[in-house]
Structure 1
């Protein structure tokens, strides 16, 4: 026994020495598509050597010649398990089984002397190379990535969704709860990410928030790119999530599963109270039960040629919940989510592969809604039903839809590979509201201060609803060519996608009533409530609707250049073109030649892949989302009217009203289609960001590695809307331009913080360019000059990690991130108020609204600690854990401006008519969360342990700290007696807490046919 151990140790040291010797002379650069992998490496003696690869599941084979320097590369490989063999003189010299190829690549190098003859080579057949004994440090990549295999996704305590896995990556945090289950990467807003399934972008076509989902068990691997990604990627200034699905093999396999999350094992969520102590929302009686059924089937339709993998999830969620005192209702809801994925792979020959993927993600929600009495905490009369299809109950939630993708891969020669892909998606949104009584149920909000029993309406949801006929569609294609020329791995490609949306919103019941304390309305001198009346009411109408289109095209070229044995240089350039069309089919923004250079370098310090130093720099562009055309470039109506009243009707509407002053159209949205020539500034730059990263990865010993990475991101160019006519009036006066008959849109799209040129119709189609400098956007308010600030959003971070690779029956990783995200604009979104209008937020609408806005942004979390791993305690038992700790979100006070020249009410970083700079009110408390899981696979079920029982406890300690609050501190009215703004009852009221503790129990059975 001792002798055998010594022999194995000697063999291991020999293998290690061989691997080190190989790596001293090699690097191993490669390129691969975003939905495939690569095998690369070095051969010690390359003369006459050929590397043979065989997919152990499908039989696909590929032979790759070894060049004179001993390098080889097989790129664009379908994911799976491979046997990689070194052949000499027609026989196998060395081989390695079970090489797992996923997104990215794997280094398989070979050493040893060449056999003297075919007979000697035959004698070596079956000998396996250990490969690098040190942990794998990928010296061929410059990007920052986290790749999780399907096995890891099963072993870690994660919610069964893509976002939960993405949150394991350093620098990734949950986005604002009002945007749904989405993530923010590196300080960017949550709409700035791209999501791919098998190489095709499935990001929400309308807003960029969310994506089409798929069955969790269909995921083969998930790649999370947090920075430094190559020129093949675009349309993202946040992060990239790549999903590669499983595929069938030569063995028929299948499995079924069931997962339940019973309400009986769920902690009650915290109720919400105002700071005064008044109960705002009773959540103690909320209940939730989840049950999910899963199944998959995999196998050959024709052995070695045609394969199928199919999977499905069916989830039913039953909830009972109580809304707030502003619209007291009790809702019984049943949500049925069906997700399916089917993939067919056809190995036409070993050199030509065709794959077709279909994905379906549909959610139907049925809600029965009742009145609720907050005095007795009891349910009242039935009000009606609300039925939704592919439109989740929460705003900004994943929209679902159908996806179909076809991809061809051709290995033309050892050095030339081509791929072509085409895909399309479609999502249809439907909503059907049925009232028990009168359908005249407008949205009612009671903003009066200190009201114990606020006025409520009869509406079912009291909010904004989609217009009929809403749907989203995308279609796209890409073509890529990879060619290896000596030390250069070249890749060029074309990447085009068109997004179409028919969408629009309207207030439920057609309009909205907002009850307010009496007092003047800043910016509206004609609003004077009658003497002695303590309150007045605002009537607001909002309606949009159009069919719009966005066309996105890109071309790129990149080169992985093995400059020396230890230095690999990456050079890339992406050229992007964006075109946005309004509801009339007219182009209102067209951007050409948006050049995005990418540069990176890696240094294999010791030449043995045990210590990598790397750096990269790049520019990344983002297109204007389609929703901008709905709101800013197509016909919309948005106005306010003010009334005195005497009495309130049964449906919450004011009685005996008398209008105060005139109607006020907000942002100029008066129901007419804006002139496409005047909607946006001329020659606008695209939304873009520059990024710089430097770091290192170091292997400590056979099982441990650590590293550090510094990141700096700076938003260089943004696109938002500007809704102030004063700079145009000032420019006209300074340049003697008559604008008495001019048609000025309510808002213009422009590049904030820089000079812009606008076309203005001064009358009769006479378009005059207005060249407004950055200084020209300044205005004089109450005798004070208010400038427009420079655009500012910067993010810097330091990431440290320590990782124990799977050995000795356990795996673990810990990440610590110190970061700051600061500036005067979050980006496309405005999480301060949960505004769901990407690229047309309140920011930049006028100089006043940008005062005091510089500070820590909503996605800033100064300190983050993440630790996760699992332990194979025995052959039958596996235990896992996931810990996350983070600094709380910055707090603000947003209120009235003394003049409110643009009539935005409580929308400024001012409170009590005094400056209230961004982030000056401290932070929410830090959060920490611990999840634990256990898996039991009994031996009595069979030798292959096909049966598994699982239990996962999320938020073990039950911490429910607030993660977001109301930052608007004032109501919008000024108290006539004090002359001060009326403080809002809802200021600092929590919006969302950490999820309460809950338990998921599961069972699954995997079988072979």
Structure 2
């Protein structure tokens, strides 16, 4: 073969690689912010030169005694890989794309033989087929990578969640947790999000994350299982984003999108179900009046500040959205109509400094802010009809502003061919502003609960969120990789501290409000109900209460870990990954005192990859591991914060007509009284949680294969088994501590004290023995050790089993496509950190484990159980000017429940009278047990999205017009529903049983114009 033929062959091979991998997704290597290139040179001591096409970054690696080489921690991008010997170029593989967390193999061999001598003959050097393979045999885990080029071609929403939902094993979470997803049967709060290696998960609730201008995303990795010891703190999934960066060529771009309300299908109304009431068939929420109009604008620029050394990338995006809609059916002139205006400015900037080819420094800055103005108007239904009247005078509203800036710095040092050091540091601060319409901070709020013709009322808002609320994080990591013969040893340390300030306080200038009340005539000297000893006055019995309320503070969670991992290439065909991670979590209350701590939590990880035929055409892989998750700051807000809640009672002789404040006050009691004994002090941190509380953790096992069927088609399958071993929740049951004290001969008074302490809700590990530290009434803590049997709860269970199968066709210049099918089963008695059954958002403090009776018949199919779901997406390049694309999802519905009151039988009499929640929260309907998930299923959700784009020849493909239609067939089906089967007592039907809570989004259209030059 001539040199010219070789060169032509290499270029064809490179083109195949470039086209195929621009949209490749599947199984990759590591969950960091870089990738790797490795392979065989066919000879020891050869030089492999790896050069970034866009930045000129160059690494030179010498092959080892077996002829192999490896270049790790490469920034994502496109590289040329050249084999040299004694300064002479032997062969080049052009345009090898390194994807996020992936390993690319580029091997060189001699035609017809091996050996260093023959390798000097250029006519006998060729690139092996493994260089063009779509199968990454260097990985033992499961993930999907989406590139910017792929996302630009597909009809997908411009959000992190919309992209994540394309990955196998990922479903949309309950609509009451907007913008979130469930990975592999987990709760929506169990995921982790990273931007350029820094964790950006919401620190208050763990629901969602910081985001960035969508066009700033270079690659997005969705990890659905089995990641290595390098990362932790997620029992759901991981979303890992790397941003665009500048190169040696100046580039500019602009984008405008428009989603017109006029082309959006009407939202489906929510109708009262036919339950034999006067409201049957009437509109509960007139969603057809929802109107959404959205624009977005984006600009970007990138290029060299210093050629080959210093680069910049900047992008900015602004979105304007107007949304009108009707809230739930009101009975009269209320705030029933809501008009919202959103302004969402975002920007991102990135500097990359290649100090030398061996020392890299990058700095990223991201601003993510959302501004929302909400106005309320009256909206009245004519009784007994669907006729409505909308008022024009504003009755209330709010201005919200959430967000702030994120800064990340990262250093990478290639200290030698075999030793790489990386260090990362980041910090973020997000402020949360909530300013109510018409609020006057100088006015003391006054309300009147007496039935009188002209009640006293002053002020608009009784209590407000903290005006200085914020979330902030700070952290970093240090990683060292050392390649030693067939071993790649990685060790590192990472830490992140997150702090949140949140809570509510009484509005007005003085920290209290006045509440006018009455005992009625003839009750002089009687005790005021719940008044702590205060007595009713004479006369009319009218009195006034000075009410003070404050709850919240500033809370912190500190998380750190260290890990060691060995990637051992046992043979050319077998790779074994052995890792061990040590996790540590520490939660602080508002007094900066630790109230929960989990130390030295060992998390083993093991994985194996088998290149069956040695040519990267068939890979079998398996992995197993343990994964831990910390509690977010919201847990302290709900369970470890100081809560001031006092009333002081007075008789009065009159009131100030200007302010509504009472005059002529006479105390009716001994001072402020509170059912909260601490009077605003945080509870003793040792009493908040069970002693030795274990963290939320899960074990996982994955087994799979991937097969290259042809040069362009891959197929694969994997089995996933996830078992939640431990969770944290709160329990609020009086009885175990009371009985424990009585059994030990303590007084009735002491038993009652300890029982009430436990009934105040303490964090514990459900289904296990727990030891509580409870106040004996004097401030001394008593150790109360309770077995699982004494607590009375069943063993915790959440198990996910799934089989994912896929077929993928690489882009060949004409079309690309991928099809996934998942058969899964999500079974147990607890969803995890959330309770989607009722949309409860108190992370790790759900209703489920408050009393054992709530867990009767709770074992069954969980809310995130979707038995079947099919996902497909792809595009077809009809001509250089015209491209067509599609994405489709078909998903079976979630299981339905019927819940009601706990049976009113003689054996349950004491529980119902003294302990039970007086509501329809139990797995009983009409007094009969109805096990979880046995009341049928919601309907299938089917969605087809189509897109078309036109890039006119006269603009040299720089100008692109596109049109995307989402939910083409306007399939709007109920996503969830009211599951209470009765209300007001056993056997009393609830007139809203089965009412849908939300529907899938209606058909809508997006126009876009993009210009890049």
**Could you say which TM-score interval applies, normalised by the shorter chain?**
0.7 to 0.9
Bigger shift: residues 478-487 or 283-292: 283-292
* CA offsets 1:259-300 (integer angstroms, 9 cap, x no match): 000011100101111102121111112211100001100001
**Aligned residue in 2 for 1:244:** 242
User: What are the equivalent positions in structure 2 for 1:135-154 lying under 5 Å apart?
Assistant: 135-154=133-152
Q: Report whether the alignment pairs 1:66 with 2:70.
A: no
**Aligned residue in 2 for 1:927:** 941
* CA offsets 1:375-422 (integer angstroms, 9 cap, x no match): 24222142345343344xxxxxxxx43210000000000000000000
CA contact (8 A) 1:755 1:774 kept: yes
Structure 1 CA distance for aligned equivalents of residues 116 and 992 of structure 2: 84
Shift, 1:308, TM fit: 0.3
**Aligned residue in 2 for 1:265:** 263
Shift, 1:554, TM fit: 0.4
**Aligned residue in 2 for 1:22:** none
Question: In structure 2, do the counterparts of structure 1 residues 154 and 439 end up closer, same or farther at CA, with 3 Å as the change threshold?
Answer: farther
**Aligned residue in 2 for 1:565:** 572
Q: Aligned match of 2:298 in 294, 298, 320? A: 294
Q: Structure with the greater relative contact order (CA < 8 A, sep ≥ 6): 1 or 2?
A: 1
Question: In structure 2, do the counterparts of structure 1 residues 241 and 507 end up closer, same or farther at CA, with 3 Å as the change threshold?
Answer: farther
**Aligned residue in 1 for 2:767:** 753
* CA offsets 1:618-661 (integer angstroms, 9 cap, x no match): 00000011111001011236899xxxxxxxxxxxxxxxxxxxxx
**Aligned residue in 1 for 2:616:** 609
Q: Alignment partner of 1:1002: what SS?
A: strand
**Aligned residue in 2 for 1:412:** 415
CA contact (8 A) 1:384 1:436 kept: no
User: What are the equivalent positions in structure 2 for 1:368-379 lying under 5 Å apart?
Assistant: 368-375=375-382, 376-379=387-390
**Aligned residue in 2 for 1:75:** 72
**Aligned residue in 2 for 1:999:** 1005
Q: Report whether the alignment pairs 1:361 with 2:373.
A: no
Question: In structure 2, do the counterparts of structure 1 residues 620 and 95 end up closer, same or farther at CA, with 3 Å as the change threshold?
Answer: same
**Aligned residue in 1 for 2:524:** none
Structure 1 CA distance for aligned equivalents of residues 328 and 444 of structure 2: 21
Q: Report whether the alignment pairs 1:726 with 2:757.
A: no
Structure 2 CA distance for aligned equivalents of residues 246 and 354 of structure 1: 15
Q: Alignment partner of 2:565: what SS?
A: strand
**Aligned residue in 1 for 2:427:** 424
* CA offsets 1:818-861 (integer angstroms, 9 cap, x no match): 10111110000011111110001111111111111111111000
Bigger shift: residues 718-727 or 377-386: 377-386
TM-score with structure 1 length normalisation?
0.85
Structure 1 CA distance for aligned equivalents of residues 394 and 447 of structure 2: 14
Question: In structure 2, do the counterparts of structure 1 residues 794 and 116 end up closer, same or farther at CA, with 3 Å as the change threshold?
Answer: closer
User: What are the equivalent positions in structure 2 for 1:195-344 lying under 5 Å apart?
Assistant: 195-275=193-273, 276-326=280-330, 329-344=336-351
CA contact (8 A) 2:47 2:85 kept: yes
**Aligned residue in 2 for 1:48:** 45
CA contact (8 A) 2:28 2:141 kept: no
Structure 2 CA distance for aligned equivalents of residues 463 and 596 of structure 1: 48
Structure 2 CA distance for aligned equivalents of residues 468 and 737 of structure 1: 47
Structure 2 CA distance for aligned equivalents of residues 600 and 305 of structure 1: 38
**Aligned residue in 2 for 1:823:** 828
**Aligned residue in 1 for 2:664:** none
Structure 2 CA distance for aligned equivalents of residues 669 and 763 of structure 1: 11
Q: Report whether the alignment pairs 1:92 with 2:103.
A: no
* CA offsets 1:418-459 (integer angstroms, 9 cap, x no match): 000000111100011123999969999xxxxxxxxxxxxx99
CA contact (8 A) 1:364 1:387 kept: no
Bigger shift: residues 741-750 or 484-493: 741-750
Structure 1 CA distance for aligned equivalents of residues 611 and 7 of structure 2: 26
Structure 1 CA distance for aligned equivalents of residues 462 and 766 of structure 2: 31
**Aligned residue in 1 for 2:597:** 590
Q: Report whether the alignment pairs 1:793 with 2:798.
A: yes
**Aligned residue in 2 for 1:383:** 394
Shift, 1:985, TM fit: 2.2
**Aligned residue in 2 for 1:681:** 690
Structure 2 CA distance for aligned equivalents of residues 541 and 279 of structure 1: 40
Question: In structure 2, do the counterparts of structure 1 residues 15 and 911 end up closer, same or farther at CA, with 3 Å as the change threshold?
Answer: closer
Structure 1 CA distance for aligned equivalents of residues 123 and 52 of structure 2: 21
User: What are the equivalent positions in structure 2 for 1:777-816 lying under 5 Å apart?
Assistant: 777-778=791-792, 788-807=793-812, 809-816=814-821
CA contact (8 A) 2:335 2:395 kept: no
Shift, 1:129, TM fit: 3.7
**Aligned residue in 2 for 1:397:** none
Give the aligned CA root-mean-square deviation in angstroms: 3.5
Q: Alignment partner of 2:810: what SS?
A: strand
Structure 1 CA distance for aligned equivalents of residues 86 and 874 of structure 2: 45
**Aligned residue in 2 for 1:982:** 988
**Aligned residue in 2 for 1:652:** none
Q: Alignment partner of 2:166: what SS?
A: coil
Question: In structure 2, do the counterparts of structure 1 residues 868 and 668 end up closer, same or farther at CA, with 3 Å as the change threshold?
Answer: farther
Structure 2 CA distance for aligned equivalents of residues 628 and 13 of structure 1: 58
Shift, 1:468, TM fit: 2.2
CA contact (8 A) 1:384 1:435 kept: no
Shift, 1:85, TM fit: 0.6
Question: In structure 2, do the counterparts of structure 1 residues 460 and 330 end up closer, same or farther at CA, with 3 Å as the change threshold?
Answer: farther
Q: Report whether the alignment pairs 1:843 with 2:852.
A: no
Q: Alignment partner of 1:482: what SS?
A: strand
Question: In structure 2, do the counterparts of structure 1 residues 612 and 582 end up closer, same or farther at CA, with 3 Å as the change threshold?
Answer: same
TM-score with structure 2 length normalisation?
0.85
Equivalences, count: 909
Unaligned runs of 5+ in 2: 18-26, 274-279, 450-456, 516-528, 531-546, 648-671, 905-910
Structure 2 CA distance for aligned equivalents of residues 1002 and 255 of structure 1: 13
* CA offsets 1:710-758 (integer angstroms, 9 cap, x no match): 1110100000111112101111112234573546250111100000111
Q: Alignment partner of 2:968: what SS?
A: coil
* CA offsets 1:286-322 (integer angstroms, 9 cap, x no match): 2111000011000011111111001111000011111
Structure 1 CA distance for aligned equivalents of residues 981 and 678 of structure 2: 27
**Aligned residue in 2 for 1:950:** 962
Q: Report whether the alignment pairs 1:552 with 2:559.
A: yes
CA contact (8 A) 2:896 2:935 kept: yes
Shift, 1:123, TM fit: 6.7
Shift, 1:505, TM fit: 4.4
User: What are the equivalent positions in structure 2 for 1:500-649 lying under 5 Å apart?
Assistant: 500-505=499-504, 544-636=551-643
**Aligned residue in 1 for 2:543:** none
Structure 2 CA distance for aligned equivalents of residues 470 and 232 of structure 1: 33
CA contact (8 A) 1:421 1:478 kept: yes
Q: Aligned match of 2:353 in 346, 350, 354? A: 346
Q: Alignment partner of 1:178: what SS?
A: coil
Q: Aligned match of 1:714 in 719, 723, 737? A: 723
Q: Alignment partner of 2:137: what SS?
A: coil
Shift, 1:668, TM fit: 9.0
Q: Aligned match of 1:910 in 924, 940, 943? A: 924
Structure 2 CA distance for aligned equivalents of residues 545 and 122 of structure 1: 75
Shift, 1:10, TM fit: 12
Q: Alignment partner of 2:258: what SS?
A: strand
